[in-house]
Structure 1
Amino acid sequence: MKRFIPLALGAIILFAILAAIHSLRAPARRDENHAPASITLAGSTSVQPFAEILADEYMNEVENIIINIQGGGSSAGARSALSGVAEVGMLSRELQGDEKTLVPTYIAYDAIALVVHTSNPSRNLDIAEVQGIFAGKTTDWSEVGGETRKIHVVTREEGSGTRGAFDQIIMGTVEVTPGAIVQDSNGAVREIVAGDPSAIGYLSLGLVDKRVKAIAVSGVLPSIATVANNTYKLVRPMILATREGPRKEVRDFISYCLSEKAQAMLAKEGLVPVTSVTPGG
């Protein structure tokens, strides 16, 4: 009988240890079963593809988070953030009017590149020439040193951050010609220009690829270097805007966008990190 007492005592101790281990593991299982937090970003189609790259990487690194990203344009993004439809508004222009009640975080800077068909021999236009083309006053490429060919103007829709920045820097108070082909995204502008030897449009430098050709403005080609040193003037900010006091999950994602890793990813995609731009440009 005495021989069985140590065995019984050992069994009790083993049971207690297993029970303790079970209780320690239980919270972890509850965390694994917890519904993931969700963040919605909406707005600029210029910011959108870069935000998607950052969000994909962030979701790979952080558990229990889902980031939904939608387009719609900068103005729509600001309205979404103001109304609470989205927690983060994406803008590729400065905040305006009542949008200034939002809190902006600058995550990068981007050049607006003038693009033409790859077969177009034109390499440079000055700002007055660009304005004349988009106003409809200059209608043939031969008027700006090119081949004799009608110019087909491709522009973005009203409310687009890319359009807003282009109008501010290039057009001023001059209206874009009503004969322009209006597209609702940078990708759509690129496709139109890529398929039309007579076309000229503008889009984010980070979205310029071999299908189209970027041309110089006043002798300066768009690049990370010329944006950073302020010699290329068609530049706009990439902004994530929120209402005051966003949730921790939102703050954490925005902080990630400013991290060294995220800024390097944006630079690889053709944007200029916020820390690289020379002040006072």
Structure 2
Amino acid sequence: MKKINKYVAFSLILCFGTFILFQGSVGSEEVNIVGSTSIQPVCEDLVEEYRKNHSKSEISVQGGGSNMAIKCVNAGIADIGMCSKQLNKNYEFTEYELGREGIVVAVHPSNNISDLTTSEIKGIFDGNVTNWNQLGGENKPINVFVREEGSGTLDAFKTTVMNKTPILNEAIVLNSQGSIKQSIEQDTSSIGIVSFSYLDENIKAVSVDGTYPSEESIADGSYMIQRPFLLLIKDNSTNETQNFINWLNSSQAKEVLDENRIIRGV
């Protein structure tokens, strides 16, 4: 097909208050993927693997958030939307679930607390529980680390645990999960939330209501703090879009998802 411009900017100020820039062109067979910054690295890895056997495919991936994904796909501006939250209304597009991501409540490895109830976690993060000795731990003030507002990780945690109760004002806000993990490693009084993929021997995950976060407990839903990783597509999607979606069921795609610790349901 004839290409009109090398770079086409879609001005979406009325809908989104921002610009989306897709490197491609109207009328080309490029697949434009936009949305959740949590899913973005996974999608970039998937696209890289896909291109090994589909070298002529043009697929662009960029962030913008889950709400942006919904709006862009709904408006027909993006071919695929990356959404890291459960949709609460019906849209005229199809959901493809890449898998589930567990969200871990993590503390310093030296902390003797290994299990917390949902109510206790809520109490820590809303400021009603301020010292570890209130939970059977040492006499140390609890230092709470969280992501900034708008973070998909924080949104999922607030939905499943906080029940609309605000996070305490004294919580230390950091702009990446890597920063939260590093802070927990260095602070023996700390607690924070990170994605399951960040869990290693340098931080300690606590069980929630007696269930430890693992691939099995996330897959079967018994570990409650988790969120879906969804791809949203229009029913009238292009052939190239559908080819990519179909490829996601391949063994190569599964390897990429496993490497990113994205868990398929049982």
Q: TM-score range by the shorter chain?
A: 0.7 to 0.9
- Residue number in structure 1 paired with 2:22: none
Runs of 5+ unmatched residues, structure 1? 1-34
3-state SS of paired residue (1:230):
coil
Determine if contact 2:73/2:79 at 8 Å carries over to the other structure: yes
TM-score, normalising length: structure 1: 0.75
- Residue number in structure 1 paired with 2:100: 109
- Residue number in structure 2 paired with 1:204: 195
Closer/same/farther in 2, CA of residues 184 and 239 from structure 1, 3 Å limit: farther
The number of aligned residues is 240
CA RMSD between the two structures: 2.5
CA distance in structure 2 between the partners assigned to 1:160 and 1:96 by the alignment: 18
Between 223-232 and 187-196, report the one with greater CA deviation. Answer: 187-196
1:269 aligns with 2:260: yes
1:136 aligns with 2:102: no
CA distance in structure 2 between the partners assigned to 1:86 and 1:184 by the alignment: 27
Between 74-83 and 54-63, report the one with greater CA deviation. Answer: 74-83
- Residue number in structure 2 paired with 1:75: 67
CA distance in structure 2 between the partners assigned to 1:215 and 1:79 by the alignment: 36
- Residue number in structure 2 paired with 1:54: 46
- Residue number in structure 2 paired with 1:181: 172
TM-score, normalising length: structure 2: 0.79
- Residue number in structure 2 paired with 1:232: 223
Match of 1:38 among 27, 30, 33: 30
Measured against aligned partners, the alpha-carbon deviations of 1:142-200 in whole angstroms (never above 9, x if no partner) come to 21222222222222333333222211211113222122233444334333333433322
Measure how far apart 1:268 and its partner are.
Answer: 4.1
1:251 aligns with 2:242: yes
- Residue number in structure 2 paired with 1:160: 151
- Residue number in structure 2 paired with 1:87: 79
Determine if contact 1:75/1:161 at 8 Å carries over to the other structure: no
CA distance in structure 2 between the partners assigned to 1:161 and 1:176 by the alignment: 15
Instruction: Identify the structure with the greater helix proportion.
Output: 1
Runs of 5+ unmatched residues, structure 2? 1-24
3-state SS of paired residue (1:201):
strand
Identity of aligned residues (%): 33
Between 74-83 and 234-243, report the one with greater CA deviation. Answer: 74-83
Closer/same/farther in 2, CA of residues 143 and 47 from structure 1, 3 Å limit: same
